[in-house]
Structure 1
Amino acid sequence: MTYSLPTPLLPFLLVLMLCVLLAFGLSVAAWRRVNHSRRGWRVGAGLLASAGLWLLAFPPSQPLRSTTTEALLLTDGYSPDTLRQLLRQLGPGTHFWRYASLAASPDTPTLSNLAALRQRLPGLRRLHVLGQGLPAADLPELNTVGLVRHSGAAHTGFRMASWARSTQVGQPWVVEGYLNNHNSAAPVWVRLRAAGGLRDSVKLPNGWGAFRLQFTPKAEGRAVYQLDARAATANGLRLAPEPLPLEVVPARPLRLLLLAATPSFEFRFLKDHLARQGHAVALRVGVSRGLTQTEFLNQSAAAIGQLTPALLHKTDVLVADAASLTALSGTEAGALQAALRNGQSGLILLTDPAVALPRALPARSDFVLQLQAARAAQEPQAVYWAAAGSAKALVPATLRPAPALRVLVTTQGRQPIAAARRIGLGQVVVTTVTETFPWVLQGQTTSYASYWSQLLTAATPPNAPAATIRPENSWPRLNAPLTIRATALAPGPITVKATAGKAVRVALQQDEQMPDWVRGTFWPGTSGWHQASGPQTSSWFYVFSSQQWRGLEAQLRQQAATQWIAQHQPATLPAVAATTGSEPWSRWWGFGLFVLGSGLLWLEEKL
């Protein structure tokens, strides 16, 4: 404890004389009392009241270590133990603030932005951030200030999640992620709720780990599904539902041409299935030598002779068996090659294990058949693909793996039986499974539709480039800057409107490095769906609130901080010495002593 004489001295001397006179007067009065049994009590109480009055006016000071070149910033999920340890290390007088996202506290000031911090502490050289960290958009405001991260307790919840924000109606939609659970090792169910009910769930035996859920939307429009976690026991882990926004768009109608050398159940069931999906289907089947039969569904009839550039220009995907592709003339094979390389058409080939691959097959050398043993080829095997579970089919042959091939379907032993190969702008798909119609007869219509959707999606050429508007950040947050990027749009304003809010105009400027891109910054004021509209197109995106996906947000902030530290500050920061100052005692000590001494004197009078 230290004591220094205040300036000016006159008030100090006056209060000192008052306290001395008060102590002397109370002591004399106590000494002259008739009752001498409590004389010491009265003298002590008078001195205590005088000392309290003096401490109330001029409290002493105590030494206090602090620093003005370092500061602490508290964010969500910070550890109080880490805060106490840093204050002991840097000094109890070190400044610290709560970040704006935290709830206000009467004993801790709140900081809204880092620019205000640099104004309050001009000599700041190092900032300690406790908890989940700072948003990536705020890190550039640090400028030359060093950043030191102090992570809080590990978050219990969804650490990672990914899903397609848009899908076609009737297409399988998948949610993948990882659950952190540090509370217990009891089994946990991760559940997907969509379209008003529980659609899929997976059990994590250890209470944590990776998960994968799936659902097939049946209706178009925008929806917000939910992902939650519940322990198998009644008093175990319970996580609040997290939103899964999804826009379900109409399925893209395809123009399909099916070529079969002979009538078969495979092509008969396939053309009926594709027609029910709304695709325009044309089927040409060889009946006898020089005689073919044609059939058209969801389109007007037309002549189907040779494969010409005009015919292939009206065809998105060509599905053919090996015999039909072998029978193509050189002119037809050249037209097919050109259509593939120009991205006008795709090709799906159903192989025949009895004959070699057709010479007209583009990139034929990359597709090498490996025949199965006779017994294995006659017994149905389980086959797997990415979009949905599995089914059983005859597998007469497999494909030899190659670097240029993208595997689509495999056997249980991970042997590819369907693969895609890029040819210019188009795709060639080869499958060794030639009989999938038994799945329909067995009632496995979902597997049948999923399998052919997998092959058609891989072979379908991409849409022609069009104007697009989309946010660059996959996780837009409330009250956080969001960069909106548009392509094939002229620089100028676009309109962004929340579902239940006012429209906001966002100015777009041309990107310096990518002339075809224009960018603008939008500050979401409400959470939920937002529509961005431009002169030629519009799109929807979802804004998450600050309380949603907090575990994933912490991961993103830590990654952003790590990247910023690696790019903007050296590996080691120079040591900063703490300074020693003084802090006066609280005046409540003096007030308490004064009240205690006065109370004892009053009590002694009543006894």
Structure 2
Amino acid sequence: MNYLNYVAPGLSIILCAYLLWAGYRRPNKKHKHLRAFAGLAAITSLYLLYRDLSANHSLSVNEVDEIIILTPGSSADTVNKLLAAKPGLKVYTTEPEIAAANRNAILIEHVNEISGPGKKDPVPDSLSANQAVESAPKKIHLLGYGLAEDELNRLHNKNIVFHPPYITRHFNSVNWNRQLHTGEKLVVQGSYNNNEPGKLNLILTGFNTILDSVSIPGNQLSSFQLQTIPKQKGRAVYTILVLDGKDTIHREKIPFETISSEPINILMLASSPDFENKFLKQWLFTNNYGVVIRTTVSRNKFNTEYLNISGIKAERINSTLLNNFDLVIGDATALSKLSGGEVNSIRSAVQEDGLGLLIKVDSITPGSLFFNSPFRYIASTALNNQQLHLNTSDSGNAMPVLTTTRPMFIANTEQLRAIIRDKEGRVFAATAAAGSGRLLATTIANTYNWVLSGDTTAYRRYWSDLITETSKSKLVAGLYSVDPSITMTDMPAIIEVESADSLPFAAKVNRSLVFLNQQFILPFQWQGLYWPRRTGWQSLASNNDQPFYWYSFGKNDWIELRASRKIAANKLKLSQAIDTLIPGTTSVVNGFQRYTRIYIILIFIICCTYLWIEEKFHNSR
């Protein structure tokens, strides 16, 4: 049909020339210009219709009806059903393992070897001549977990039918803090799809010890949270188990690193010796906090103790003294008895320098004091002892029951963020911003009872949360991150460094030099690409900073999670591609749109009708 592409224009030109010549020779010269225009328009529209029909015919000849692309996770039953319905379907894959296991599959290197409409790709080296991919398939059946985003883009928004496999009992999402400081909680959060009947147990283990567990109901997608405070320092790999009774369904790795925190120096102000301060200072000392305790003995006389710290004189509280500390913990009574100059020094250090102030509310003090302004305390009317069922507001984890006498609680306002509540929703610890620093008030005065009852974990969790929430933030030289969060061996990992350094610099990854590009919009961000070649811990260091470690997983780790993420990404990408091809859009590759074709036919009919009427009624006169 290619020769007609030359004959048709020639015939159209000859026909136009004949009409012009016939109109010029006609004796009746009336309407000759209009007749010439109508004749040219009729022949032009006829030629355009021919071009449209030939283009569509050429496309239908070159198109393959349907093909199949296999990706990891492809169902053999789905392949057999498609081949049974249409035995002539070609099957392609980019995975050598799939090609070896499926004798019908043809191995290709890239999906762009399946060409777009109207294009003819050369036969790749990996294919023989009789295995070449036919041009422009009308429909692609995509089986398995799907393709990467760039591979989907290479398919030119073809009509893709996605056939994902059914994944039973799998993690839908998961995340945890990869790096934490000593005393900080390791929190593993996510969601699990238990799409079968029967309860499952998720268990976090470390060094052959069960650390936390949670139950997942049957036939339900449930969120979960597991947490613990690691006792060891350095890098470790915990395990999350999914158990159905005694059967282990999944065993996945949770790698993280515990680093030593910069010492936090704390100034404690006590109005008198008591058990709460005694147990607290002992716990702070054991956990390597630098502590100065100033206890009031009598008017203007104090007893001062120094734990893990020296060379500081605490007789008078002023800005010079407070520059040595990250946090002040004080009884409300002790704080209220400070001189005006000392109170002003603490307020200035909190609001301007970011010092934290933790108030242990042992009495109702004047509301005019700056540290009382965000808080309003409500005394309990009960005369007998009460059992408090406390839990942390952020995680909702319950703490052991604590018995206390006439507890006070804090009125919850928009200015506050609750830290500790009871099951009735009453707030017993809350924090508020105060300039650059933070204020935190707690009305629980006998947390040492947890230690006396042997529950040191609850005591440690309680005070770690309060100190972490309130203490002065430390400045870091650089921040490191790796994307994706679950990095796989032999897959690209995007390394990102946040640094104020304006000079180009490179990072060393496992002794390999990786050059980082400065981001144009965010100049403090530097990015580079690295392909881990081995499973396990990877080290990253730039300039003279301490190395940052991340974990590269093997191909057998988090299989179902990665599969579900890829399926979700493919569904989203294909739904967006369908949205761009809705009826009425102007995206047509070959031929004219239907409404354009109708306009051309109408022009041809109108022109021919005019020429017939003009010849019939005007030329005969």
- 2:521 matches 1:513: yes
Q: Which residue of 2 aligns with 1:542?
A: 551
Tell me what 1:151 maps to. 164
Q: 1:467 aligns with which of 478, 485, 490?
A: 478
CA distance in structure 2 between the aligned counterparts of 1:413 and 1:191, rounded to whole angstroms: 29
Counterpart amino acid of residue 245 in structure 1: P
Calculate the aligned-residue CA RMSD, in Å.
Answer: 3.2
CA spacing shift, 1:95–1:435, aligned 2, 3 Å: same
Instruction: Quickly say closer, same or farther: Cα 1:559–1:373, change in 2 above 3 A.
Output: farther
**2:62·2:135 contact (CA, 8 Å) conserved in 1?**
no
Report the counterpart of residue 570 of structure 1 in structure 2.
Answer: 579
* 1:284 maps onto 2:298 in alignment: no
- C-alpha distance in 2 between matches for 1:127 and 1:333: 74
- 1:200 aligns with one of 202, 212, 216: 212
Aligned length: 501
Residues of 2 paired with 1:344 and 1:101: CA distance?
59
- Are residues 1:218 and 2:228 paired? no
SS of the equivalent of 2:534 reads: coil
Which residue of structure 2 aligns with residue 21 of structure 1? none
CA contact (8 A) 1:79 1:153 kept: no
Q: Structure 2 matches for 1:394-433, cutoff 5 A?
A: 394=404, 396-433=407-444
Contact 2:243/2:250 (<8 A) preserved: no
Q: Is the 8 A contact 1:125 1:144 kept in 2?
A: no
1:69–1:121 CA contact under 8 A, matched in 2 = no
One of 299, 303, 310 as aligned partner of 1:300: 310
Q: 1:379 aligns with which of 362, 383, 386?
A: 386
Deviation at 1:312, TM superposition (A): 1.7
State whether structure 2 residue 173 is matched by structure 1 residue 164: no
Distance in 2, matches of 1:330 and 1:415, equals: 33
Query: Alignment partner of 1:103: what SS?
Result: helix
* Amino acid paired to 1:78: S
Identity of aligned residues (%): 26
Amino acid at match of 1:103: I
Per-residue Cα deviation, 1:163-222 (whole angstroms, up to 9, x for no partner): 21122334332323333334x423333222211344333344538644433333221121
Whether 1:78 and 2:74 are equivalent positions in the alignment is yes
Asked whether the equivalents of residues 505 and 542 of structure 2 are also in contact (C-alpha less than 8 Å), the reply is: no
Partner of 1:522: 530
Asked if residue 443 in structure 1 is aligned to residue 454 in structure 2, the reply is yes
Sort the Cα spacing of 1:339 and 1:473 in 2 relative to 1 into closer, same or farther, 3 A: farther
Amino acid aligned to 1:110: L
Tell me, yes or no, if structure 1 residue 108 matches structure 2 residue 118.
no
| Aligned partner of 2:562 among 530, 553, 566 | 553
Give deviations 1:357-391, integer Å, cap 9, x for gaps.
Answer: 46121xx4432222222236x32312122576413
Q: SS of the counterpart of 1:542?
A: strand
In the alignment, structure 1 residue 351 sits paired with structure 2 residue 346: no
Q: Measured at CA, do residues 260 and 81 of structure 1 come closer, stay the same or move farther in structure 2, by a change above 3 Å?
A: same
Specify every segment of 5 or more residues in structure 1 that has no aligned partner in the other structure, as ranges. Answer: 1-64, 498-502, 578-607
The letter for the 2-side match of 1:345 is L
Taking a change above 3 Å as real, the CA distance of residues 115 and 324 of structure 1, as seen in their structure-2 partners, is farther
1:312: which partner in 2?
322
Letter in 1 for 2:194: N
Is the CA contact 2:361–2:441 (under 8 Å) kept in the aligned structure 1? yes
Deviations 1:130-158 (A, max 9, x none): 33222356555456556554332133222
CA distance in 1, matches of 2:368, 2:338: 9
CA contact (8 A) 1:75 1:99 kept: yes
Change (3 A) 1:504 1:139: farther
Q: 1:397 to 1:479 in 2, by over 3 A?
A: same
> Which ranges of structure 2 fall in alignment gaps of 5 or more residues?
1-60, 116-120, 122-132, 590-621
TM-score by length of 2: 0.73
Counterpart residue identity of residue 214, structure 2: V
Post-superposition Cα deviations, 1:315-370, rounded to whole Å, max 9, x if no partner, equal: 10110111222234444334333322345411111113544546121xx4432222
Structure 1 contact 419–429 (Cα < 8 Å) conserved: yes
Q: In structure 2, the residue corresponding to 1:380 is in which secondary structure?
A: strand
Report which stretch shifted further, 293-302 or 556-565: 556-565
8 Å contact 1:353–1:397 — kept in the other structure? no
Evaluate the alpha carbon distance shift between residue 113 and residue 495 of structure 1 in structure 2; reply closer, same or farther with a 3 A threshold.
Answer: farther
Question: What displacement does 1:541 show?
Answer: 0.7
Q: 2: CA distance between counterparts of 1:101 and 1:192?
A: 36
